């Protein structure tokens, strides 16, 4: 079952605009991560936010986490054509150690940047 669900499933914006993607999850978590996947390639880790953090920045990326609403958002500012990819949130549920290393991926948002 998918813990994280991204919204929207697909997003198309003009180059230079900001892109916002949302992720909702169901159980309590230790942390939430965002990954990026270029077409036909593996996933690349972008940013991690821990359950006791509310906001985190990395370059043009801004991630927020609202544990009361069990949701997160990823904002990409000043988008570029090279940002075209699929973006996945992944949650690390706060369960016992035997499962501590497993993370659960959502189904992703496909982002297209129009030149």
Partner 1 sequence: DVKVTQSSRYLVKRTGEKVFLECVQDMDHENMFWYRQDPGLGLRLIYFSYDVKMKEKGDIPEGYSVSREKKERFSLILESASTNQTSMYLCASSIPGRGTDTQYFGPGTRLTVL
- Which C-beta is closer to partner 1: that of 14 or that of 98? 98
Which of residues 10 and 78 has its CB atom nearest to partner 1 in the complex? Answer: 10
Query: In the complex with partner 1, which residue's Cβ is closer, 52 or 68?
Result: 52
Residues lying near partner 1 in the complex (CB under 8 A) are found at 1-2, 30-31, 33, 35, 40-45, 48, 50, 88, 90, 92, 98, 100-108
CA dist., res. 103 & res. 76, Å (int) = 23
Residue 7 CA to residue 100 CA, distance in Å, equals: 26
What is the distance between the alpha carbons of residues 111 and 67, in angstroms, rounded to a whole number? Answer: 25
**Integer CA distances (angstroms), 95 to 3, 24, 64, 89, in order:** 13, 18, 22, 18
Which residue lies nearer to partner 1 by CB, 31 or 84? 31
Shortest distance, position 102 Cβ to partner 1, whole Å: 7
Alpha carbon distances (Å) from 37 to 26, 44, 63, 77, 109: 23, 6, 17, 18, 10
Query: What is the closest distance, in whole angstroms, from the C-beta atom of residue 83 to partner 1 in the complex?
Result: 19
Least distance to partner 1, CB of residue 91, Å: 9
CB of 113 to partner 1, least distance (A): 21
CA 109 to chain CA centroid, Å, is 9
């Amino acid at each position: 079952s998918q813990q994280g669900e991204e919204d929207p499933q697909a997003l198309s914006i003009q180059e230079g605009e900001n892109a916002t993607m949302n992720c909702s999850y169901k159980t309590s978590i230790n942390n939430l991560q965002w990954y990026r996947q270029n077409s036909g390639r593996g996933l690349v880790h972008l940013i991690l936010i821990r359950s006791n953090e509310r906001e985190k920045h990395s370059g043009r990326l801004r991630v927020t986490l609202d544990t009361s609403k069990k949701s997160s958002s990823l904002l990409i500012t000043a988008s570029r054509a090279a940002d075209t990819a699929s973006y996945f949130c992944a949650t690390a549920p706060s369960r016992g150690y035997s499962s501590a290393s497993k993370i659960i991926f959502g189904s992703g948002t496909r982002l297209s940047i129009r030149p």
